[in-house]
Structure 1
């Protein structure tokens, strides 16, 4: 698709129209507005329009299966749903309308469906009740934009993080804490200003999308990309960085390892002189990847591995432009985050692996979990191991000069490519197969990332073969997402 450029004044005008349209559709404070969208400007406009009214935004990537979407959106009962008619991946066009229709049959709360024509100019909306095209939903003119004046912790986002049992946790993040935390990380840790062009490879279903959009609060230019990072060739992202003059390039440890595996030497093929920072998250960045970045991508760059999570919509540890970069280490713990490594008895450790904890409250702690009136789910998720102390579920080491090394999950939650998924989501699909008596999904550290391994126990008289394997993988892919599929 052709590139689109949107100025700040154009964005403001679109958000103004979006706010008016949502208000006309009956959206008010605390109503939920959901996005089932690729990473496109309309997603940003819809989110900002909803936020201006005090509504709560929640989004999912269109590559999620029907069950994965419903496990999330059924919990929060959105009033308005934004969707695209399709998306592209690896050069293939994928229609989303049939999936959307099935989703809507299980979401009776939705009163308006706004469809973005992404794959065709005039998609067929027959069979979509209360459906309207994006351009028809927005008015030609709108009154001046007014922002609802609300408490500091008024809900802004609902994010999702899966555990080992049950539905994904619906995590409510407040407007004030999210913005304050992001401004700290972007301006102080990332040295982002209105002169920067910031890119992060993400979907609308990952917290890095919310983090990327927050760069707008600093006046920076953000780059949105949707699709495979290696299409039409493995150098696609580096070519894009050169063309758009990207100064802050955000990606994952898996992407860096893949570039190394392809044998790419981006510094020899592309002018990357404007890149000052490369950010990596999703999984620990191995030492060899540090070597690769500095020998094959750019010598004079700040390589900032960062770690945090959907649960806090931010980071526990990250970069610092005033500190050296040590091979295999995150530079420092984040400002205002009292992060420690605890042993089993709750004593802090230095130069030893322990449990990642945060011993003081911080701005972007979740307001609560959705549908958790007594707070018991929230408490059990983070505060049951060490009373009154946030326990995140990662193993870390803090060394004597303040560097941080992350070893991966300490609980049974899987974390492929940095997206936290629960074994329960996989089990719900596998249990539908009559041939299988029982199953076990585990995460395995593999080439600097984590991959999903699935063990199955067959019922008596049943045999496991390639045909069943393909059916299982297809069902997990369509019922959950591609990231859930076992290796």
Structure 2
């Protein structure tokens, strides 16, 4: 039976999309006749330099000097050089608008709102940039932040990158060791930090933790406090600190000079999750990040100046960086700080209704929880302007796709997107001119030569394999910090298939060019030597109202591997009847190989701080192996629930 779309854009919506405008530009320049996304995609990966050159012009990138070449050799990975000869500034491109339209709306779980216009944002960035220059900060320096999702965080990032400093951030819920593991490697000279934060109706004072962090990172010369709990003008016992107010005193809001830097100038330092060892510090270049993220926002999300975009994220997740780049389009970005279900599950939907949010970004886990706690958001709130919902962090189940169209809004683009912190962007994501099919990511990203390889390194369609990218792309890390010979970088992506980026996702490329993500490659289950994706089990578990969350791992057993399924229950006990219904559903809807040998109830499921289940850490725990860097987890205490389980000894 031919698969049926759950949504198709109207001809009017297709025609006025940014993607069609770009396609018309390409056709005019190259005398081509592309009319479909597939045709444009194939061209974009066969003529990589032409694609990115056309997109540079389509965006109107602000640069004091144009590039001499787009890319020297797209087949060289790693090591291809992008936009050589160009001189530009990332912050200047994000601050191209300086009018009275709203740039930032900031909301909290208490319902408080604040706003900044583009003119006010520009002035605020100018003041902080002058203060940074006064402190001697310039190109080559690192500036870091331990802040909630606030306007001040955006302002500090733009100020730091305007003077040529390299930016890095963590959210304040990170533990001491987690912060030191990250910032301790890169040695920031200035740290923007908070005294605490509010979450779920509670206050969390981090001043003691902050003081220890500063003592353990001697490179920090200046701490700039952005108080959230106690605004008494004091340091709160934090060494080498001053307040935001005092740091910016005596500066003006008009003189903002943007350092003109090479395209490959280090913009961000991002971090791997750190669940298998100390976090890797990935250095990313200014032009590459600007181009990649704007491609995803403008072409794949169809973002314009008339949009209001929210992404539920913290400053420790790459989606924060992705959201903030929306400023370059002139859209209004909505920052939300707090628990997304406090004081009730409707908190974000009230914000969406009140602010006329058009693009609502979140995680698959949020949508699954919303399905249980707020079954009919579209009936309770006026979300007439909402036209797109984005989901990432983990695969989105078919049932959740149907829930969104049935109970949120039946006329929107639901784009499940997938990529990584490594590239600060996506390999597969939304297509505004294409149909949406339940459980599928609409397309591979333009300019991204994404394939699925089998174990022999051959491309396959319609069967599971490794997600790879066979050609260079602009937002690849420039290098890893403290990796002088590049060995860590090569080992992370290029060992399995030399010269090809192997991302670590197990997925299927369909005949129509869409993608299905089955889970992380290192978390795939292998009973009897047949690899199956854990995400398939999770999708099915979401159809059981008794199950709040689930996690599946492979346990070494009698020379083979058996599947263990852990369930966090929504209430009640794990009855024999429920276990039998689950086993029967798995056998009938997936396969007999998916049927778990054991089904066990646990009180919690461990996650990373960017909302990803940590199957590998649980697998290590049930085998009695050490789990390095537990600080990388949002709830590391949950791992103890899986230790020395008697049920797994027989």
Q: TM-score range by the shorter chain?
A: 0.7 to 0.9
Question: Alignment partner for residue 361 of structure 2, among 250, 269, 283?
Answer: 250
The residue number in structure 2 matching 1:103 is 213
Within 2, Cα distance between the matches of 1:263 and 1:6? 31
Within 2, Cα distance between the matches of 1:167 and 1:123? 36
Within 1, Cα distance between the matches of 2:412 and 2:124? 36
CA contact (8 A) 2:509 2:516 kept: yes
Question: Alignment partner for residue 411 of structure 2, among 262, 279, 300?
Answer: 300
For residues 236-285 of structure 1, give each alpha carbon's deviation from its aligned partner in whole angstroms, at most 9, with x where no partner exists.
11111111110000001000000111142001100111100000000000
Aligned structure 1 segments of 4 or more residues deviating by more than 4 angstroms: 442-449, 456-459
The residue number in structure 2 matching 1:238 is 349
Q: TM-score, normalised by structure 1?
A: 0.87
The residue number in structure 2 matching 1:310 is 421
5 Å-filtered alignment, 1:310-329, equals 310-329=421-440
SS of the residue corresponding to residue 210 of structure 2 reads: helix
SS of the residue corresponding to residue 156 of structure 1 reads: strand
**1:285/1:232 CA distance change after superposition, 3 Å:** same
Within 1, Cα distance between the matches of 2:454 and 2:622? 34
Within 1, Cα distance between the matches of 2:157 and 2:368? 33
CA contact (8 A) 1:112 1:130 kept: yes
5 Å-filtered alignment, 1:77-226, equals 77-122=187-232, 124-142=234-252, 144-162=255-273, 165-226=276-337
Report the Cα offset of residue 456 of structure 1.
Answer: 5.8
Report the Cα offset of residue 385 of structure 1.
Answer: 0.6
The residue number in structure 1 matching 2:79 is none
Report the Cα offset of residue 480 of structure 1.
Answer: 4.4
Matched, 1:486 2:638: yes
Within 2, Cα distance between the matches of 1:25 and 1:263? 49
**1:319/1:458 CA distance change after superposition, 3 Å:** closer
The residue number in structure 1 matching 2:102 is none
The residue number in structure 2 matching 1:70 is 180
Report the Cα offset of residue 139 of structure 1.
Answer: 3.0
For residues 286-328 of structure 1, give each alpha carbon's deviation from its aligned partner in whole angstroms, at most 9, with x where no partner exists.
1000010000100001000000000000000100110000011
The residue number in structure 1 matching 2:168 is 58
Report the Cα offset of residue 205 of structure 1.
Answer: 0.2
Report the Cα offset of residue 118 of structure 1.
Answer: 1.3
CA contact (8 A) 2:324 2:333 kept: yes
The residue number in structure 2 matching 1:345 is 456
CA contact (8 A) 1:369 1:377 kept: yes
Matched, 1:15 2:167: no
SS of the residue corresponding to residue 299 of structure 2 reads: helix
SS of the residue corresponding to residue 401 of structure 2 reads: helix
**1:445/1:255 CA distance change after superposition, 3 Å:** farther
Within 1, Cα distance between the matches of 2:430 and 2:622? 42
Report the Cα offset of residue 165 of structure 1.
Answer: 4.0
SS of the residue corresponding to residue 455 of structure 1 reads: helix
Report the Cα offset of residue 85 of structure 1.
Answer: 1.2
Question: Alignment partner for residue 501 of structure 2, among 387, 390, 397?
Answer: 390
The structure with the larger Rg is 2
The residue number in structure 1 matching 2:18 is none
Matched, 1:361 2:472: yes
Within 2, Cα distance between the matches of 1:184 and 1:354? 26
Report the Cα offset of residue 206 of structure 1.
Answer: 0.2
Structure 1: tracts of 5 or more residues without a match: 418-441, 460-471
CA contact (8 A) 2:346 2:374 kept: no
CA contact (8 A) 1:63 1:481 kept: no
SS of the residue corresponding to residue 269 of structure 2 reads: strand
Question: Alignment partner for residue 159 of structure 2, among 49, 55, 67?
Answer: 49
Report the Cα offset of residue 25 of structure 1.
Answer: 1.0
Within 1, Cα distance between the matches of 2:381 and 2:121? 31
Within 2, Cα distance between the matches of 1:219 and 1:485? 42
Report the Cα offset of residue 163 of structure 1.
Answer: 5.0
**1:380/1:401 CA distance change after superposition, 3 Å:** same
**1:156/1:126 CA distance change after superposition, 3 Å:** same
When structure 1 is superposed on structure 2, of 71-80 and 155-164 the one drifting more is 155-164
SS of the residue corresponding to residue 441 of structure 2 reads: coil
**1:79/1:476 CA distance change after superposition, 3 Å:** closer
CA contact (8 A) 1:152 1:175 kept: yes
SS of the residue corresponding to residue 153 of structure 1 reads: coil
CA contact (8 A) 1:445 1:451 kept: no
The residue number in structure 2 matching 1:411 is 522
The residue number in structure 2 matching 1:28 is 138
CA contact (8 A) 1:266 1:296 kept: yes
CA contact (8 A) 1:253 1:449 kept: no
Query: How many correspondences in the alignment?
Result: 447
When structure 1 is superposed on structure 2, of 352-361 and 130-139 the one drifting more is 130-139
**1:163/1:81 CA distance change after superposition, 3 Å:** closer
The residue number in structure 1 matching 2:621 is 455
Q: TM-score, normalised by structure 2?
A: 0.66
Within 2, Cα distance between the matches of 1:481 and 1:139? 38
**1:3/1:174 CA distance change after superposition, 3 Å:** same
Within 1, Cα distance between the matches of 2:269 and 2:245? 26
CA RMSD of aligned residues (A): 2.5
CA contact (8 A) 1:68 1:481 kept: no
